[in-house]
Structure 1
Amino acid sequence: MLLLFTYVFYCLTGCCDLTPSPLYERQTFRNKLSSEELRGNASRQGSVDGAAEEEDTKHAPSDSSNLSMANSFGSKELPQAIIIGVKKGGTRALLEFLRVHPDVRAVGAEPHFFDRFYDKGLEWYRNLMPRTLEGQITMEKTPSYFVTREAPARVFAMSRHTKLIVVMGRVQDFLGLKRVVTNKHFYFNQTKGFPCLKKPEGSSRPRCLGKSKGRAHPQIPSEVLLRLRDFYRPFNLKLYQMTGQNFGWE
């Protein structure tokens, strides 16, 4: 009994992660759980992490949440996709909605690695990431990368295959994800005036974005809208040529 109690206490303090079990033990344990069960654990932890994140942070994030037992499967990887912008373009909503997908694991807070904390190194950055299983995508979002001159070269130096997301089109298609996030995951919140996530699995309440989100749009005169469309039309056409996709913003 004393040996068992010592082992349980040892694991609860997080020390088990520092001394990985032999390969044959890990394979035996993984064989007892299907990949769907493991993904369910990861998805539920993502919902819990997201429920605690009400506002974007401007400080260096902490990876202490990664010590939870539910997030002990898989490995930490550098992100394969990063939401880079634009500010106030719905990036927080996009991240929260993508985290509903079982194949997406994302950091809740903005890491600001490529603009503020680059000197801390890639291992520091990697340690901020949640653990992922084979076939899952690691993501983060920091809109200020979009306006940081050094960010493109730094991301490219990390990986030329990392996908950069600017809120414009259908992101699930861009990431190659199976379409599982649909209207059934949302309800329209009359008080806030925008859709919220229905009660996520593992949470006791629905998930809505924070108080700073969902600002009322001003009424813009039609002649002003026409002038704006005329002004941005050549820039839109250039974007269509660069991306090879027509977003239909005429």
Structure 2
Amino acid sequence: MAKERCFQLDARKLFFMLSLAVFFLSLCILLSDPGQVVEYWSAQPSVHPVTQLYRNKNASANMLTNASLDESTGAPAGATSTDATDMELTATRRLPQALIIGVKKGGTRALLEFLRLHPDVRAAGSEPHFFDRHYDRGLDWYRSLMPKALDGQIVMEKTPRYFVSADSPARVHAMSRDVKLIVVVRDPITRAISDYTQIVSKTPSVASFESLSFRNGSTGAEVNPRWSPLWIGLYARHLERWLAYFPSAQMHFVHGERLVTDPAGEMARVQDFLGLERIVTDKHFYFNQTKGFPCLKKLEGSSQPHCLGRTKGRAHPQIQDGVIRRLSEFYRPHNLRFYEMVGQDFGWQ
């Protein structure tokens, strides 16, 4: 028994001496060249290595949508439990750094779906309507609606009503002075007809477009700018409120017509504005002749291409030529003012 106790004591002493030796050896190395420690940490990437691996993987795949990320953790669907745990360390819910603020029936849903192809974009699926309807619920509530995002990813949402809401510019500015704002604009007459088409789909008994476009319901009267489908198209008036809070450099205007005819070109400009690598390109799109609208080629894990819902690309009612001419005359000065403000001619007649 005495020998066994002696052996146990010797083993403990030996372990203690070895640990002490390792400690002093490490201390000597540190004191001899402390720059190595600083150099090591300064050389580490600012982005979590698992995050960077995920980006690289998706940049080559190109067809992965945001739907591939688990909403609870922000990790890629199908990731191992270890990967998910690592990513959860950096995936957080943040207030958006970019907003698609308008306009209704301009192509905002299409733009959002196209942006969701980018691995560095995380976007809320539904419209929060925070700055125009639910502002009293507070920023914490608003943040809770955002998807979890990894380091370096841009969080964004779209609510077209913000652009025409009188209170939204000041409220957005109070959240962030640096937020980037995107507006999808379209010929205001075509936009109004599309808006009216949506109204009719929900309320078939609504009056005709022609009667609603003019005061007192008569095509011989003045244009009625208070009718919502026409009022929204007064882009210059709405933009003035936003420019009172944000410089034009923080706003990007997407050409709604070109988003249909050249989605890759418009997406290139949007990605540049957001400071993103041009990952979403022409190889992601094909033109659907039936819908008259670009669709996305089949996504990873799916055997079918992805088009927007059946409400997109639906047929518009035929509007009298005389009404179109009257509306063109009405909008012309407003359009010219808008072109001057944004420094771009959209070519609307």
The two structures have a TM-score, normalised by structure 2, of 0.52
Distance in 2 (CA, whole Å) between partners of 1:137 and 1:246 is: 29
Supply the AA of the counterpart residue of 1:166. V
Aligned to 2:331: 232
Alpha carbons 1:80, 1:137 under 8 Å: kept: yes
> Which runs of no fewer than 5 residues in structure 1 stay unpaired?
1-23, 50-63
Q: 1:143 to 1:32 in 2, by over 3 A?
A: closer
Change over 3 Å in CA distance of 1:68–1:238 after alignment to 2: closer
Higher relative contact order (CA 8 A, sep 6+): 1
Q: Does 1:66 align with 2:72?
A: yes
Is 1:248–2:265 an aligned residue pair? no
Task: Determine the structure 1 residue equivalent to 2:115.
Answer: 98
Aligned to 1:108: 125
The correspondence for 2:309, drawn from 185, 210, 228, is: 210
Q: CA deviation at 1:234?
A: 1.4
Which secondary structure does the structure 2 equivalent of 1:164 belong to? strand
Do 2:74 and 2:91's aligned partners in 1 also have CA atoms closer than 8 Å?
Answer: no
Match of residue 166 from structure 1: 183
Alignment length, in residue pairs?
A: 210
1:140 aligns with 2:157: yes
Post-superposition Cα deviations, 1:54-102, rounded to whole Å, max 9, x if no partner, equal: xxxxxxxxxx933465384533221111112111221111100111122
> Gaps spanning 5+ residues in structure 2: where?
1-40, 77-86, 186-253, 255-265
Q: In the TM superposition, what is the alpha-carbon distance from 1:139 to its structure 2 partner?
A: 0.9
The alpha-carbon distance between structure 1 residues 158 and 36, as it changes in their structure 2 partners (threshold 3 A), is same
Q: What is the alpha-carbon distance in structure 2 between the residues aligned to residue 45 and residue 177 of structure 1?
A: 16
- Which position in structure 1 is the counterpart of 2:297? 198
2:72 aligns to what SS in structure 1?
A: helix
Once the two structures are TM-superposed, the CA of residue 223 in structure 1 deviates from its matched residue by 5.7
- Alignment partners' CA distance in 2, 1:179 and 1:233: 35
Bigger radius of gyration? 2
TM-score (norm 1): 0.69
Identity of aligned residues (%): 61
- RMSD (CA atoms): 3.2
**Cα contact 2:65–2:299 (8 A) shared by 1:** no
| SS of 2:280 mapped into structure 1 | coil
- Are the counterparts in 1 of residues 94 and 149 from structure 2 also a CA contact under 8 Å? yes
CA distance in 2, matches of 1:31, 1:80: 20
Q: How is 1:15-94 mapped onto 2 (pairs within 5 angstroms)? A: 33=50, 35-38=52-55, 40=57, 44=64, 46-48=66-68, 65-67=71-73, 69-70=75-76, 72=88, 73-94=90-111
- CA-to-aligned-CA distance 1:127-152 (integer Å, 9 cap, x gap): 22123334322110111222322211
Equivalent of 2:277 in 178, 187, 197? 178
Q: SS of the counterpart of 1:105?
A: strand
| Structure 1 or 2: more helix by fraction | 2
